[in-house]
Amino acid sequence: MRGVCGPYRHRRPLRWAVAGAGATVAAALTAGSLTGTLSFGDGPGSGERPPKAAPSPHTPADALQPPIVARAQWRADPKLLDQKPRYADAVHAVVLHHTGHSNDYDCSDSPHLVRDMYRTHAVARDWGDLGYNFLVDRCGTIFEGRKGGVDRPVVGAHTIGINTGTTGIAAIGTFTEGAPVPKALRKSVEMLIAWKLGLTGIAPEARSQLISSNSSSRFTKGSTVSVPTVLGHIDAYETTCPGKALAQLLPALRKGAARLQSKAKVQIRKEGGRPRNKKAEGAARRAPSGHARIGGTAGSA
């Protein structure tokens, strides 16, 4: 098996009847410090309250959290879920992927593409859930992938050997050599990297120590390996993923994410590092905080 990255057949698209969806996404992406979930298609499920407006950020990570389309919003079928979330101690590195889709899809079809991958990973590959922790489409919309909490160190099934302690971000499309990488996609990936690594104070241009769990990766099982905190799937496993176009952007993505972290630190210092409304802050968080026990690799990845 070559890991998660690979061709996906674009089945009959399900177009969402969302008036002005592109404008909504564009407006959300221009709000640099916007936090919470992004409205896309149908709202939260029955009985689920929409997230309240987030208060002024009080940590660099809070200032960096981008808008994210939650699983309920892209209509993840709970009947396909066959795995409980597992957690690492923290996210030490980010692994970048591409999904193998055609690059000319309409962004209004992105929820359909995510649902299609969900079924492929959870059922056809028997991983119980999506392998990726996050997915980003060419318009820059970020989708919550694997269940467990977007701000928690959820163990995914995106790369053999180093799923534990990493977050898998998949760019929806095929980014082989010469393929253009949309600016909106790139900017959202930078923000997502800056936020996820910022939750544990890790610099995007640093290196992290991970323990390999599978000798089928580039690292012997049980060995401690030093990896960049932002790496491509190809750096961990024998694959062409995330494609040369994205792989060549890794240095720029690291610099961009580092720049965002620096700006967030300056912003927090100016604001005094305190939230204006602690009660609203607690309500705005959708997932519990804190570290959980280290989990094993997910699925067959």
Residues 6 or more apart from 252 whose CB is under 8 A from it?
Answer: none
Who's near 196: CB < 8 A, 6+ residues apart? Answer: 91, 94, 167
61-105 pLDDT, tens digit each: 888 899 999 999 999 999 999 989 999 999 999 999 999 999 999
pLDDT at 197: 96
Cis peptide before 288 (omega within 30 of 0): no
Characterize the bridge pairing of strands 224-228 and 142-144: unpaired
Q: Tokens at residue 10, please? A: 């674009």
* Residue indicated by tokens 């929409």: 50
What are the mean pLDDT values of the chain's consecutive 10-residue runs (301 residues total)? 46 33 36 39 36 51 91 96 93 96 96 97 94 97 97 93 92 96 97 95 94 86 92 88 95 97 86 48 35 30 37
Q: Are 142 and 68 in contact (CB under 8 A)?
A: yes
CA 229, CA 274: separation in Å to the nearest integer? 28
Q: pLDDT value at position 27?
A: 35
Question: Given this model, what pLDDT does residue 220 score?
Answer: 86
Question: How much is the pTM?
Answer: 0.75
Please tell me the distance from the alpha carbon of residue 85 to that of residue 45, in angstroms, as a whole number: 20
Q: From CA 83, how far away is CA 119, in angstroms rounded?
A: 13
